[in-house]
Amino acid sequence: MKIAVCVKEIYNLEQVKIVRETREPILDVPKKLDDLSRNALEEAIKIREKLGGEIVAISAGSPELRKTIKEALAMGADRAAIVTDFTESSPESAALVLSRILEKDSYDLILLGDASSDDYSGQMASRVAETLNLPQITFVSEIREVSDGKITCVRDMDDYIEVVESDLPCVVSVTNEINEPRIPALKDILKASKKPVENFSLQDLGIEISRSYEIVENLAPAVDRKQEVIEGEAAEVAGKIAEIIGREV
């Protein structure tokens, strides 16, 4: 079983601060592997534990990706194939770059997170599947079975669930409910540096990035606080708070 897991580097959102006056984010923070990418990778590792095979982490990003990809290798990917001169962040171009890397090898299964925690566009699985002309199963909360060239998945559609079977190869995107990703131990981290990483440039892949849209603004949402002050005796104030909670929640 040869599994490709498309992973994404994102800014460590917990460390991103917002300039109060302008609402602009300060992005001078380290990057990390996206949480949903880790869910996808965890699922690949579970399949490999059952069926054997190889996991290849695929990613496109900034030069910092050479460092970030080690998280995927430490978690359990056997090797990586990456592009590190990709700074354009549109889903359209990202899907093209990932697909070109994927085309360089053949895979039984391509796993991704359903969306990424930063822009959450949720387009990657469908775009990659369409580019590679493969079947796709999205919103997967459980991979029930992988055998005899087929995969059976449970799709979480909020109000109902679907059980879907597809031939392999197939593109599958997972939700964060599917598992709890493992945390790499020291031994895994030390081994990660010795695993092979194939580094392509956009030129190697024959891709020229063109912008199809422009980001006009990237600001934190403005939240106006009600700043309601409740005054009075404790019992009276408690009653009013209970009333507001009952009304608002």
Q: Scanning residues 193 to 212, which ones bind other proteins (CB under 8 A)?
A: 193
Least separation in angstroms between CB 192 and other proteins: 8
CB atoms within 10 A of CB 170: 23
183 interacts with other proteins by CB under 8 A:
yes
Give the residue, chosen from 71, 108, 114, 156, that forms a contact with other proteins under the rule CB under 8 A.
71
Q: Nearest 5 degrees, angle CA 197-CA 199-CA 200? A: 150
Least separation in angstroms between CB 21 and other proteins: 18
- Pull the structure tokens for residue 246: 């009952």
67 interacts with other proteins by CB under 8 A:
yes
- Pull the structure tokens for residue 3: 């599994």
Least separation in angstroms between CB 9 and other proteins: 13
**3-state secondary structure at position 129:** helix
Give the residue, chosen from 1, 154, 189, 209, that forms a contact with other proteins under the rule CB under 8 A.
189
185 interacts with other proteins by CB under 8 A:
yes
Least separation in angstroms between CB 179 and other proteins: 14
Least separation in angstroms between CB 35 and other proteins: 11
Length of the chain (residues): 249
Interface region with other proteins, contact rule CB under 8 A, candidates 53-61, 184-192, 197-205, 237-245? 184-192
Q: How many CA atoms are closer than 13 Å to the CA of 89, on its beta-carbon side?
A: 12
The identity of residue 150, as a single letter, is K
By the 8 A CB rule, do 79 and 199 touch? no
14 interacts with other proteins by CB under 8 A:
yes
186 interacts with other proteins by CB under 8 A:
yes
Q: How far is CA 73 from CA 103, 119, 145, 183, 193, in A?
A: 21, 24, 25, 12, 8
Interface region with other proteins, contact rule CB under 8 A, candidates 106-114, 131-139, 190-198, 220-228? 190-198
190 interacts with other proteins by CB under 8 A:
yes
Helix (H) or strand (E) segment spanning residue 145: strand 136-147
- Pull the structure tokens for residue 112: 């991704």
Site for other proteins, rule CB under 8 A: 14-15, 17, 32, 67, 70-71, 74, 183-187, 189-190, 192-193
